[in-house]
Amino acid sequence: MSRIGEREADTLDVICFGKESLKKIADEATAFTGREPSPAAGIEVKDSGAAATVAVPVEVGVVREETIEFVDLRKQPQEPNLDLEPAALRRVTEMAVNRLELAQAQMRIATVKGQVALDRARFTEAVAMRVLRALPEYLADDIHRDPVRVIVQRWLDEARPKDRFVPFDPFEVGDEIARVIKQGLERESAQYIPASSKRRVAFPGFRLIANVPALLGVPRPTGLRVEELPTIGARDTFVRFQPYRGWRSALHDAYSFDSWPEAKLATLLDVADDVVWWVRNQPRRLQIATPAGAYNPDFVVLLDTQPKRTLLILESKADDFWNPPESAPRLKARAAATWCAAQPSELPTQWSYALALESDINTVASWPELFPRLLRSG
């Protein structure tokens, strides 16, 4: 995730190459990925000459950029798996193997800031998604997505944006609408809908909620509500896949997480004295070939070590997934450690791999306390 103006984005940051115009960004993205940028990123690419036009008003600029250098190890077609034996590792380190293709690679990570507006359709979808994610114990995506869209459209009709672009923040509007829906659902249906059934049935009172006058009284947003870091600190307040903002040393302004231990690990990294910066591998930028399939690590962390700084590939993993001796996480960990050891010494930074078990993350209060418990291989 990154922030574009006062909104999060998970696509534009990874296709931005420091160009000043949106067209240059689109052209670079098309050339780099071989695919045309999605219109959801605020870009439309026409067939005639692949000319890019702005689908929504967007002004962006790169305010910070980091470049990571490494040697990419890719399997040849005839090589089914990476050989993780010590002798093979030495050969990889010496750049003397013929079973692996070695290529210099760079990963550029840009922090993008600017302004963006959404048209009515995209705004409606963004707000509806926010509402559904805010009320997982009350609403089910397959049942309630369309009714929630209707509610958002009714709110827009009342708000009356001056043009086709909506100037309101979809996350703040979504939170307010979710609050009203929750109050109404509890009032109308809690008396005869058991809690265990709420995700599997359509609420009898839901049609009433779409018509309550209070809904149209949802205040217009006055500013972006920032999710402060302490909201991640407690397991019962954590929301899976919700963007969290306010990071101090992260390269991007907002990230979402798959689990509470993963989010807590991020908070430990964010305030550690020896962490220069950290980045969530989201969308997936760094991928390593392993015997258990492609491995996409959770984090890349730059540590202030001597004589060289260290780029740490960091993973969090549940204990029950990790514990079996030949589990997929162990195979991927061994391959990641091999990948790090194979990086040439002439690179400006050294690479290292570590894995944090969730049982350790749950019990520590700081990164220095967790660091000695990290596992270095499978």
Four-residue CA torsion sign, 261, 263, 269, 270: negative
Mean pLDDT of the residues in the chain: 68
Q: Report the DSSP beta bridge partners of residue 250.
A: 278
Query: Quick check: bond before 291 cis, omega within 30?
Result: no
Q: Can you list the pairs that 94-101 forms with residues at least 24 positions away whose Cβ atoms lie under 8 Å?
A: 95/344, 99/75, 100/73, 100/74, 100/75, 100/76, 101/73, 101/74, 101/75, 101/76
- For residue 116, the SS3 value is strand
Range in 114-123, 226-235, 344-353, 360-369 with the lowest mean pLDDT? 226-235
Per-residue pLDDT at 125: 87
Mean pLDDT over 318-323 rounds to: 84
Q: Dig out the tokens for 207 from the structure.
A: 């049609």
Query: What band does 366 get if pLDDT is binned at 50, 70 and 90?
Result: very high
- Cα radius of gyration (the chain): 24
Question: Residue 301 — left, alpha, or beta (φ > 0 → left; ψ -120 to 50 → alpha)?
Answer: beta
Most confident region among 22-31, 93-102, 191-200 by mean pLDDT: 22-31
* 93 or 135, higher pLDDT: 135
Per-residue pLDDT at 340: 87
Four-residue CA torsion sign, 230, 235, 239, 244: positive
Please report, rounded to a whole number, the percentage of residues in the chain having pLDDT higher than 70: 53
∠ Cα 80 83 89 (to 5°): 150
Mean pLDDT over 166-181 rounds to: 80
Name the phi and psi angles at 364, rounded to 5: -95, 165
Per-residue pLDDT at 41: 43
* 110 or 20, higher pLDDT: 110
Per-residue pLDDT at 31: 57
Name the phi and psi angles at 66, rounded to 5: -120, 140
Per-residue pLDDT at 222: 40
Per-residue pLDDT at 148: 84
Q: In this model, does residue 251 exceed pLDDT 70?
A: yes
Domain ranges across the chain: 2-60, 61-116+227-378, 118-217
| Alpha-carbon gap, residue 309 to 341, rounded angstroms | 15
Tally Cβ neighbours within 10 Å of residue 230. Answer: 10
Q: Give the count of alpha carbons within 13 A of 108, CB side only.
A: 13
Query: What band does 242 get if pLDDT is binned at 50, 70 and 90?
Result: low
Mean pLDDT over 124-128 rounds to: 87
Per-residue pLDDT at 140: 75
Mean pLDDT over 172-199 rounds to: 65
Four-residue CA torsion sign, 180, 186, 187, 189: positive
Q: In this model, does residue 346 exceed pLDDT 70?
A: yes
Task: Label residues 332-349 b or e (16+ Cβ within 10 Å = b).
Answer: bbbbbbbbbbbbeeeeeb
**299-318 residue pLDDT tens:** 999 999 999 999 999 999 98
Query: What band does 104 get if pLDDT is binned at 50, 70 and 90?
Result: low
